Amino acid sequence: MTLAQPAASSGPTSGRSLGAVCLVDDHGEFRETAAWWLESLGYTVTAYDDPQAFLDAGDPPAGACLLFDVRMPTMSGLDLLDAVKARGCDLPVIFMTGHGDVPLAVEAMRKGAVTFLEKPFQEAALEEALGQAFARVRPAVTPGQALYARRLAALTGREREVMALVVAGRVNKIIAYELGISPKTVELHRSRIMAKMEAASLTELVRMAITGTTDGDA
């Protein structure tokens, strides 16, 4: 996996997770780096170095995506999926391996895998796979959610930081102190945020951030 340093604004502005990911991989460096990168994007990650540790932890969160290495010393990712399914847990799974081959990929897909990624893989490949996985457990995105996402994407990294603190209820002086900028600069960012998010009031901005949609009745 080729990982780049994420921008400071990668996480979700409202503090809501993009989704829960359960990562099981016995390779320590890869596991830690992948977990760090996914968390920087806004996912909630629980990482395990051993399949049995994952099973002993109990059922994963509802709506989670399972990210399993295929080849592990104590239990393969395919066998781990069988054990999960035997518990009645039906969650989307993405398989990873550094030793991919066609028969293994076919078996993974037969067992219901969303996709099969061969290490090293690009971040974009995993992001796309996660999008496919969560599409299986989430309802379709509403027009209001799509519009909110487009408006949010128009914000700069600093504007997202300011918005997060505004939504959290911080006043300008506190925001300025926490970010190391002047209150006047905070006020300027707030004005731009309100314009880009097309929020008529602070209440509307907070509501949009909490609900993740521009729909007033969400």
Confidence check: pLDDT of 136 > 80 = no
> What are 7-50's pLDDT values in tens digits?
333 344 445 578 899 999 999 999 999 999 899 888 999 999 99
Determine if the pTM surpasses 0.75: no
Same domain, 94 and 194: no
Confidence check: pLDDT of 163 > 90 = yes
- Determine, yes or no, domain membership for 10: no
Same domain, 59 and 150: no
Question: Terminal CA-to-CA distance of the chain, rounded, Å?
Answer: 38
The pLDDT, as a whole number, for residue 14 is 45
CB 44 within 8 A of CB 17: yes
Same domain, 94 and 167: no
Q: In the listed set 95, 113, 137, which residue is the last one of a domain according to the structure?
A: 137
Same domain, 98 and 60: yes
Q: In the listed set 137, 162, 193, which residue is the last one of a domain according to the structure?
A: 137
The pLDDT, as a whole number, for residue 4 is 44
Full residue range of the structural domain in which residue 207 is found: 143-211
Give the whole-angstrom CA distance, residue 42 versus residue 19.
Answer: 8
- Which three-class secondary structure state does DSSP give residue 116? strand
How many helical (H) and strand (E) elements, i.e. helices and strands, does the chain have?
10, 5
Confidence check: pLDDT of 180 > 70 = yes
> What are 56-103's pLDDT values in tens digits?
998 888 889 999 998 888 898 889 999 998 888 888 999 988 766 667
Q: How many CB atoms lie within 10 A of CB 203?
A: 9
Q: In the listed set 137, 172, 193, which residue is the last one of a domain according to the structure?
A: 137
Quote the number of domains for the chain.
2
Confidence check: pLDDT of 138 > 60 = yes
CB 198 within 8 A of CB 205: no
The pLDDT, as a whole number, for residue 115 is 87
Confidence of residue 216 (pLDDT cuts 50, 70, 90): low
Give the whole-angstrom CA distance, residue 125 versus residue 7.
Answer: 18
Same domain, 178 and 126: no
Confidence check: pLDDT of 3 > 60 = no
Same domain, 88 and 171: no
Same domain, 132 and 153: no
Same domain, 126 and 205: no
Give the whole-angstrom CA distance, residue 163 versus residue 155.
Answer: 9
CA distances from 153 to 19, 53, 128, 149, 171 (A): 18, 38, 18, 6, 24
CB 165 within 8 A of CB 175: yes
